[in-house]
Amino acid sequence: MEPIYLDHAAATPMHPEALARMLPYMTKHYGNPSSIHSFGREALAAVAEARELIGAALKVSGRRVLFTSGGTESDNLAIHGLAARRGYAGHVITAKTEHHAVLHACERLEELGVQVTYLPVDATGRVKPEEVRQAIRPDTFLITIMYANNETGTIQPMKEIGQIAREAGVLFHTDAVQAFGTVPIDLNALGADLVSLSAHKIGGPKGVGALVVGEKVVLQPLLYGGTQERSRRAGTENVPGIVGFGAVVGLTVSRLAEKRAYLESLRTLLLEELAKHLPQEAFHVNGHPSERLPHIVNISFPGVSAETLLMNLDLAGVAAASGSACTSGSLEPSHVLEAMKVGADCVRSAIRFSFAPVTTKQEIVRAAEIVATFVRRHT
């Protein structure tokens, strides 16, 4: 049987149209965007087009889009780029359930002299806006809260947090890597000053991302060299990757409502099929019941080790995960679920299933049957 891939929150397959757009920039149109000759101008025009496509998807000017190597670099540039401008002094607010690209960046801030508040979350994984407000101090210069969690899919109260940040005069950064291309995002309504994105979560290539930067935000570069990206990120642009990123964003935005509806149907089907094969107490869904992404479902199977289940699923041809892609290879318990206080048994037995438009309903039905078979065997 063909393997079933249910780990699209970690990485998605390349969209064929995005790949087709990229190939000429790996072969025929190979100029450096910084070169003044026709080859360079051709590459520069392709980068500019991708910049505009991404900006349009967020309803902002393409000038605000700064290309990076991915979500991790974007998070680090936002956080450390601001902190360095302040001489690593002051205060930052984040949440305990952030991606490690944010949490570890904030831990490094603390080593350099910045004070960081790590906000708790409720049982669904959401921060309380009022606690964000209460945490703000006179020296707070940044609030960094992810748009939607990469393990549970829980969406944070973004507009409320953005409003609180604006009222306090504090810059607001959000890691929108999992949300972008799956839920509609209007940065003008959101009020975020910095937004991290990544291409490989939505059918684009690995190794390219973006940081969308407010017009008045000044960042200290992390990399020094040339004047690329308006002197904010040195290094020759990854032209094929950027072209692929722009292409897949254009394709995704034009079909967003259709994509969301289909992903939601896959999620519903998985839960319905599990309920057919397992008693109600055999599995528990983690995260917010409604304020969530449609393509991620985090399920605990009490009494079953996540490690054992994942290994058995892999042997049966089903790929899933126990946490984020950056930590799913380790045996550490999920810091997200621990912060949600769902209980030790639920933390130890949690599996993340994630889908994409290429996932079929037949795959979901077969995967649910395989999962249920192993759960029954190990409980």
CB 248 within 8 A of CB 57: no
pLDDT tens readout for residues 158-183: 999 999 999 999 999 999 999 999 99
The DSSP letter of residue 281 is G
CB 322 within 8 A of CB 310: yes
Q: Are residues 352 and 247 in the same domain?
A: no
Q: Are residues 340 and 247 in the same domain?
A: no
| 92 residue type, one letter | V
Helix (H) or strand (E) run with residue 362 in it: helix 361-377
Q: Are residues 157 and 276 in the same domain?
A: no
Q: Are residues 90 and 230 in the same domain?
A: yes
Residue 329 confidence (pLDDT): 53
Q: Is 326 a catalytic residue?
A: yes
The DSSP letter of residue 37 is S
Q: Are residues 236 and 361 in the same domain?
A: no
Q: Are residues 274 and 227 in the same domain?
A: no
Residue 332 confidence (pLDDT): 79
CA 361, 363, 367 angle in degrees (round to 5)? 120
CB 321 within 8 A of CB 351: yes
Full domain range(s) for residue 61: 16-254
Domain count, the chain: 2
Q: Are strands 318-319 and 171-175 parallel, antiparallel or unpaired?
A: unpaired
CB 211 within 8 A of CB 183: no
CA–CA dist 265, 294 (Å, integer)? 8
Q: Are residues 109 and 127 in the same domain?
A: yes
Show the low-confidence residues of the chain (pLDDT under 70): 323-331
pLDDT tens readout for residues 86-114: 999 999 999 999 999 999 999 999 999 99
Q: Are residues 221 and 352 in the same domain?
A: no
CB 31 within 8 A of CB 37: yes
Q: Are residues 110 and 120 in the same domain?
A: yes
Q: Are residues 353 and 245 in the same domain?
A: no
Q: What is the largest CA-CA distance in the chain?
A: 67
Q: pTM to 2 decimals?
A: 0.95
The last residue of one of the domains, among 226, 254, 282, is 254
Q: Which position among 285, 316, 319, 326 bears the catalytic label?
A: 326
Q: Are residues 285 and 338 in the same domain?
A: yes
CATH number at residue 280: 3.90.1150.10
| 239 residue type, one letter | V
Residue 328 confidence (pLDDT): 47
